[in-house]
Structure 1
Amino acid sequence: MTAIELKALTKRYGDRTAVDGLTCVIEPGRVTGFLGPNGAGKSTTMRMILGLDRPDGGGAYVGGRRYTDLPDPMREVGALLDARAVHGTRTARDHLLWLAHAAGLPESRADEVLRQVGLESVARRRVRTFSLGMSQRLGIAAALLGDPAVLLFDEPVNGLDPEGVKWIRELMRGLAGEGRAVLVSSHLMSEMALTADHLLIIGRGRLIADVAMADFVRRSSGVLVRADDPEPLVKRLTGEGAEVRTVADGGLVVGGMEAGEIGRAALAAGVALTELTPQRTSLEEAYMELTRDSLEFKAVAV
């Protein structure tokens, strides 16, 4: 099985550091969601994995080798970075045939991936007539052409209708289920919550979180607690390893403990509770809280 490994990966543009010492492993057999605010360095990281940008420090490796050192890259790595980066006068089939010939792949693969992405009926239409959603499907077909073990998708659901979004979700999960490493960036949190098994979150080029999806959401959730005398309860809860923060109205949000455990801790501390309400945080809420201080571009209310 093939993994992507980033080792202290760094990229600078003048005095701006776009990617700052990024170290992580994108494991095979799962969909890894690559999240971060605009300008966080996601696309730059993907470009360095593919050898399109040269790192200023560290390295990106696929199966232990740099992309530029792979003997047969299209059979090992497939990628969709820009759905519109296609010569508009070519037909969809000719575009894929050109890629297949360049990679030494059989012509039959072009027809196979066109069927796989649902573009068989428009295979002989010129690409310039395609909608964004159709171009996304063609880009995915190109990524799948060499039947690679590693796949990178940058915002693949842009322009897709609901059926298309569902299709690509199932496609990515199916590819990961076959043992492939799938790295996908997206700003559509509701869809990422249904698709990704694992999360890499970066802000201002630095790694903020490298965590399983379920663990990330669970850690960001908590239990709302109100008590007649909260001080001894806080001492008891923190002593047992819980994370406790006070909200504006004086209530407590307790993380790392279930409601039943909090109730038993309150009983042991001799504190009467007036509220004990589990709160489940969505991926979007947890992500927004984590990246609040990493936003490069912030709108100002007028």
Structure 2
Amino acid sequence: MIEARELTKRYGGRTAVDGLTFTVRPGAVTGFLGPNGAGKSTTMRLALGLVRPTAGSVTVAGRRYSELAAPLREAGALLDARAVHGGHTVRRHLLGLARSHGIPARRVDEVLGAVGLESVADRRARGLSLGMAQRLGIAAALIGDPGVLILDEPVNGLDTEGIRWIRALLKSLAAEGRTVFLASHLMSELELTADRIIVIGRGRLLADTDMRTFIESNSPHATLLRTPAEESGRMRALLEARGAAVRPDAHGRWRVTGPTTTDIGELAREHRIAVHELTPCRSSLEEIYTALTGAAVEYRSTRSADANAEEELSCMPS
């Protein structure tokens, strides 16, 4: 478990983390989201004792990280996959970590197998691709068989197979009762992986809930509707007369917001309008996150407004 209580970190006049209180519980993958500069990396570094809080506290497995007798056995972390001595081989790097904590050498072979790096075990770290370096970082996080995992952007550089692999790995680790704390900017992947979500902006907590509740509570009633071309104008007029918002999408359908899918179907039946598609849908995690954190974005393109206008038309089937 990871527990933060009024956690605050200031650098001079800038507040990077501002009174964060949250709990990351075992048995679930918890996603950690926030715009660039929101304080995610600082929060993770505070949890790992790499920086000291200005105020408040954060504990891992019930204690401050600095108080853990054998940290790698309690909490494994991946913050920077390239933070490895380039002259060391993959095996030597992991063996050094194991020896520092009294972990049997056989554990090195176990984690090499778990992350798929057996074939490059004797390759020097400087020769690894980014994807291989990510796998090595995950192996290092797992070397002590810890109950807590703190991972910052672990899918960077991974191909499709690698992303699917780490998704299954993290879910299996959580299913074993471990605490998995995962920061990522890949919204679609996080939506598939995380059970819970913590969102921060400008160092402050914006949301702390389970993924399903977060999406359902922030999604308007929306339906994808397709009717024969000759009936589309009449159907749109009927819907708008009842206060619905009706917009076209890129596939020749209408996205209808307001009435329920059942109400739309009944309206079409009442007026004898054929319906070729009627699909209830919800907003994606990316859409909801973008709306929630819009005011907390530190670096904004002048084209952001146009891009957001386009994204408002997307819809994820329920």
Q: TM-score, with normalisation over the residues of structure 1?
A: 0.84
Mapping for residues 154-169 of structure 1, pairs under 5 Å:
154-169=152-167
Give 1:84's match in structure 2, choosing from 79, 82, 107.
82
- Out of 282, 285, 293, the position equivalent to 1:283 is 285
Give the aligned partner of residue 293 of structure 1.
295
Q: Size of the alignment, in residue pairs?
A: 276
CA distance in 2, matches of 1:278, 1:68: 50
CA-CA distance at 1:64 after TM superposition: 1.8
Amino acid at match of 1:71: A
Q: Cα distance 1:208–1:128, how it changes in 2: closer, same or farther (>3 A)?
A: same
- Aligned-partner Cα distance in 1 for 2:48–2:194: 21
Percent identity between the aligned chains? 58
User: Residues 115 and 136 of structure 2 are in contact (CA less than 8 Å); yes or no, is this contact kept in structure 1?
Assistant: yes
Quote the Cα distance in structure 1 between the aligned partners of 2:168 and 2:279. 35
SS of alignment partner, residue 222 of structure 1: coil
- What is the distance in 2 between the residues matched to 1:117 and 1:135? 11
Aligned to 1:228: 241
Q: Which residue of 2 aligns with 1:190?
A: 188
- Structure 1 counterpart SS, 2:62: coil
Measure how far apart 1:63 and its partner are: 2.2
Q: Secondary structure at the match of 2:96?
A: helix
Bigger shift: 221-230 or 77-86? Answer: 221-230
Amino acid at match of 2:114: Q
| Alpha-carbon displacement from aligned partner over 1:171-226 (angstroms, at most 9, x marks no partner) | 00000000000000000011101100000000000010001111111112222594
SS of corresponding position for 1:291: helix
Gaps of 5+ in 1: 231-244, 267-271
Task: Render the CA deviation track for 1:235-293: whole Å, top value 9, x for unaligned.
Answer: xxxxxxxxxx9899xx9955xx95558999x9xxxxx9x9x984411111111111111
1:301 positional shift: 3.5
Amino acid of the structure 2 residue aligned with 1:298: R
1:136 to 119, 134, 137: 134
Distance 2:122 2:134 in 1: 17
Query: Could you tell me whether the CA contact under 8 Å between 1:222 and 1:278 is conserved in 2?
Result: no
User: In the alignment, what sits opposite 2:55?
Assistant: 57
Structure 2 portions without partners, runs of 5+: 224-238, 248-254, 305-318
* 8 Å CA contact retained: 2:222, 2:260: no
* Normalised TM-score (structure 2): 0.80
Corresponding position of 2:227? none
Q: CA deviation at 1:299?
A: 1.0
Alpha-carbon distance between aligned partners in 1 of 2:93 and 2:109, rounded to the nearest angstrom: 11
- Contact kept? 1:30, 1:180, Cα under 8 Å: yes
Question: What amino acid maps onto 2:191 in structure 1?
Answer: A
Match of 2:40 in 1: 42
Paired with 1:20 and 1:109, the residues of 2 have a C-alpha distance of 39
Distance 1:166 1:27 in 2: 23
Alpha-carbon distance in structure 2 between the residues aligned to 1:138 and 1:170? 17
1:287 maps to a residue whose letter is Y
Residue in 2 aligned with 1:234?
Answer: none
